[in-house]
Amino acid sequence: MVHLLRSPSTAKTAKGTFRRDVNQFISSSWWDEKSINANEDVTLVLTLQITSSHMREESLVQNLLAMADSNIFLWSGQPSVLLIHIDSTEANQGGEMNELAKTLQFIKEKFETDQKEPASDQTLHLKNSLVAIVDSKKPAVSRKALMNMAIHAAPTRWIVSGLDLERGLVLSQEASYFAARGAKVYADLPGHVFVIPQFASKRDDTRRNSDSEANPVPEGRVLYSGVGNDLLPTIRTKQSMTSNIAEYDCSRCSNAVIDDGAGAGAGEELTDDGSESRRLLEESSSKRSVEEQIEDLWWDLSVADVYGTAGGFRSSLDLIAKIHDRIEVSLMSLLDRIEDHLEYLRYFDKSPILLIDRLGPLKEMMTLDLVSEVEEFGGSRCFNLLRLAQLATVGYKVTVLPGAFAASYPKTRAALCTDSITKQTRYCDCDITSESTIREILIDEVKRPGKIAVLLNELDSRINSVIR
């Protein structure tokens, strides 16, 4: 069940409850067309999953909501969609106000529209935000399913998705500006996807007080501030940020070893603090050509873009084009099902943050309809790179968004990593318990780009025959 809490639309019909039919969640009447430019604005798509473990600690729930609120605040008034999933398995318990009821109250206090009161300093940054709650009787749902649902609600051509709020990630202060600039620059060049890197910072931003005049924060509001791009050279030189964000996760992974037969090791459970998955990635021949190449290109172009200097990148435009080609080829090669490529594709431990153009490279195809997240692949480490590899295969130009990044900081991690959470273990692998089922789904998804190409060729042939 979906409960809409807030919408930019002033129509009363914007509020309500909807069941199952996702198409009802796309209603354009929920957006104020006068304040949104569908072609040039960029929608920030966020998802947040609040589990029963989270709900046992009121401060933790409030910090999770503040994490979402902070990123919307940093998005500087551009459209945003926030979809919050809560576990409602304990909804019918009697007695005093239970944990679920308290969580719902916290969410409504922070995000719900008050029709009787005008927008205040507390809610002004939410003017172009759509916020909804999804409650279910299941303790967990696929994050990819939530992402697809939230993306479908976005009103603009350009969308940023993939930010993992549960890891304490906060966008950089200029991310909104760089995303909007990219949308304008590539307005006449459809079919681009920009990767926004993500890091774990070893220190907080000590230069600026979050409630200073330069960065005003509404009174009584908990907001987490990301650093600006003026620190990029310092960050890289002093290595104050690392791309291995799994090392700073609150809890360790507990992955059961799945065996479709009765072989040795069936049912065994292993704990992993992130080192095992990183080992699999490091042993893969794709590591240098995908993750490191993308990050190296981003660092060089960011320094050059922000400071107008060459930074570490003193190469020709021809070489830059070759680097882009190598990245795209490496992504496409992940779909060839070679063993080390398959391991890299499966165990990549980040949710890629992508600025995606809805209009594709061929006949301006709609990516939402043709290349969406695979909802069956739930789990924090379960084919997270699959969609990006598919986009590259269908002809998208894969590049980076210089200057924009996301990072977790000691403050944001401390807010989410409470004692009870750090003592827990979590299942990080694919939610599907059968390896044969995983293989079947993967085979279908590997074939998807080829089917799309055939479909577009047939459509092109029909159009040309009608014209003639």
Residue-wise pLDDT tens digits, 334-354: 998 888 888 899 989 899 999
Q: Find out whether 126 and 44 touch, Cβ atoms under 8 Å.
A: no
Question: What is the arithmetic mean of pLDDT over 314-341?
Answer: 85
Q: Find out whether 437 and 444 touch, Cβ atoms under 8 Å.
A: no
Structure token digits, residue 145: 């399913």
pLDDT at 95: 45
Residue 155 lies in a domain: yes
Residue 36 lies in a domain: yes
* Domain ranges, residue 72: 2-207+223-467
The pTM of this model reads 0.85
| Torsion of Cα atoms, 274 then 277 then 278 then 279, to 10° | 120
| 426: CB partners within 8 A, 6+ apart | 251, 252, 253, 254, 380
Closest CA to 195 of 319, 302, 46: 302
Side-chain half-sphere exposure of 414, counting CA atoms within 13 A: 8
Closest CA to 416 of 70, 6, 136, 72: 70
Of residues 225 and 440, more confidence is placed in 440
What are the backbone angles phi and psi of residue 308, rounded to the nearest 5°? 70, 20
User: How does DSSP classify residue 39?
Assistant: T
pLDDT in tens, 199-224: 999 888 765 544 444 445 455 567 88
User: How does DSSP classify residue 13?
Assistant: G
| Torsion of Cα atoms, 225 then 231 then 234 then 235, to 10° | 40
Closest CA to 408 of 237, 215, 242, 161: 242
d(CA 99, CA 459): 53
pLDDT at 267: 40
Closest CA to 47 of 14, 74, 80: 80
Closest CA to 159 of 9, 42, 307, 35: 42
Alpha-helical (H) ranges within 249-360 are: 275-283, 293-307, 317-333, 339-347
d(CA 464, CA 434): 45
d(CA 58, CA 219): 20
pLDDT at 211: 46
Please name the amino acid found at residue 444. Answer: D
Q: Which burial class, exposed, middle or buried, applies to 236 when counting CB atoms under 10 A from its CB (0-12, 13-18, 19+)?
A: middle
pLDDT at 277: 52
Residue 347 lies in a domain: yes
Of 122-131, 260-269, 270-279, 416-425, give the range with the top mean pLDDT: 122-131
pLDDT in tens, 178-196: 999 999 999 999 999 999 9
Q: Find out whether 64 and 54 touch, Cβ atoms under 8 Å.
A: yes
Residue 133 lies in a domain: yes
Of 171-175, 256-260, 270-274, 420-424, give the range with the top mean pLDDT: 171-175
Structure token digits, residue 448: 């998807």
Residue 213 lies in a domain: no
How many CB atoms sit inside 10 A of residue 420's CB?
Answer: 13
Residue 457 lies in a domain: yes
Closest CA to 415 of 42, 94, 60: 60
- Strand partners of residue 271: 254
pLDDT cut 70: percent of the chain above it: 75
Closest CA to 245 of 405, 408, 381: 408
Q: Find out whether 371 and 390 touch, Cβ atoms under 8 Å.
A: yes
Count of domains in the chain?
1
28-42, 49-63, 272-286: segment of lowest average pLDDT:
272-286
pLDDT at 22: 35
